[in-house]
Amino acid sequence: MKKPESIIDIPRSHPRYESLMSREKIVEGLHSRVVTESGLIAHGRGESLDYFLGEASAPFSRAAARAAAARLLVSQHPVLSVNGNAAALVPEALVELAEVTGAVLEVNLFYRTPGREEAVEAALRRAGAKTVLGVGKDGNATIDELQHSRRIVSAQGILVADTVFVPLEDGDRTEALVRLGKTVLTVDLNPLSRTARQAHVTVVDNILRALPLMVEEAKALKGRPEAEIRQIADAWDNHAGLAEALRFMAARLTDLSREV
């Protein structure tokens, strides 16, 4: 596939700079086999919702990021499940979040084509990851509740995890993980997606902003008394969080409708 002309020299002052740079990362990911064609479609769906959010983290985004970070910190065996789009957009932040919270990174792909999981692993290793589960022979266990290639998981990772972070995840898989009794955390710009509604903590924000927020919150919480961290994790009401996100978007659109 011929690589399209790069947009990388877009000036920082461009009003859509962040959005254009993230598209560049996704397209780069497509050429290095980290991202699939359907990943491009998912990215576009996310961007449209980011317009409604005003392309900025809202107070509820930070509150959810804190609850998710708290849950990772009090879990016995937290796993960060990494798909193509996440690896293309925020590899460094994923590695840092794993380090700060003591979670392990596991590659888990919808489309497990030959060489692709290795490409995702390479992206994480370039970002500084020392251990990456779920690749090649480490994909050594199956979860029957999960469909197709995503049944393949690591026996040291998702199989035994109490908490799984699944940013930009499909609803079927989220549902299966919840059914298995896992605590599920996600980042999803769409408060109406099945994943957003089924997860225990949904950070409604762009993953580009949400991951740094989670790292920041994890660093701030780490070292606090365990009971305090647990209280923050337990107090999170995900349906209330999603309702707030929807009200925020609705109010913003109403305000904007007066300006057009």
Q: Summarize as ranges the residues that interact with ligand ATP (CB under 6 A).
A: 42-43, 45-46, 49, 168, 170-171, 187-190, 193-195, 206-207
**By the rule CB under 5 A, 175 interacts with Mg ion:** no
Q: How many CA atoms lie within 13 A of 182 on its CB side?
A: 30
Residue 125 neighbours by CB distance under 10 Å: 15
The 8 Å CB, 24+ separation contacts for 253-258 are: 253/52
Cα–Cα distance between 122 and 21 in angstroms, integer? 21
In the list Mg ion, ligand ATP, none, the entry touching 217 (Cβ below 5 to 8 angstroms by class) is none
Cα–Cα distance between 139 and 45 in angstroms, integer? 30
Residue 225 neighbours by CB distance under 10 Å: 8
207/218 with CB nearer ligand ATP: 207
171/212 with CB nearer Mg ion: 171
Quote the least distance from Cβ 42 to ligand ATP, whole Å. 4
In the list ligand ATP, Mg ion, none, the entry touching 33 (Cβ below 5 to 8 angstroms by class) is none
> Is the Cβ–Cβ distance between 130 and 102 less than 8 Å?
no
From 28-36, 77-85, 104-112, 168-176, give the range in contact with Mg ion by CB under 5 A. 168-176
**By the rule CB under 5 A, 138 interacts with Mg ion:** no
Q: Using the 8-state DSSP alphabet, how is residue 222 labeled?
A: T
Torsion angles phi and psi, residue 165, rounded to 5: -95, 120
62/150 with CB nearer Mg ion: 150
Q: How far apart are the first and last CA of the chain?
A: 41
Q: Using the 8-state DSSP alphabet, how is residue 160 labeled?
A: G
From 24-32, 34-42, 132-140, 169-177, give the range in contact with Mg ion by CB under 5 A. 169-177
- Footprint on residues 19-48 left by Mg ion (CB under 5 A): none
For residue 52 the two structure tokens come to: 């409604």
In the list ligand ATP, Mg ion, none, the entry touching 43 (Cβ below 5 to 8 angstroms by class) is ligand ATP
Quote the least distance from Cβ 30 to ligand ATP, whole Å. 14
From 4-12, 101-109, 162-170, 176-184, give the range in contact with Mg ion by CB under 5 A. 162-170
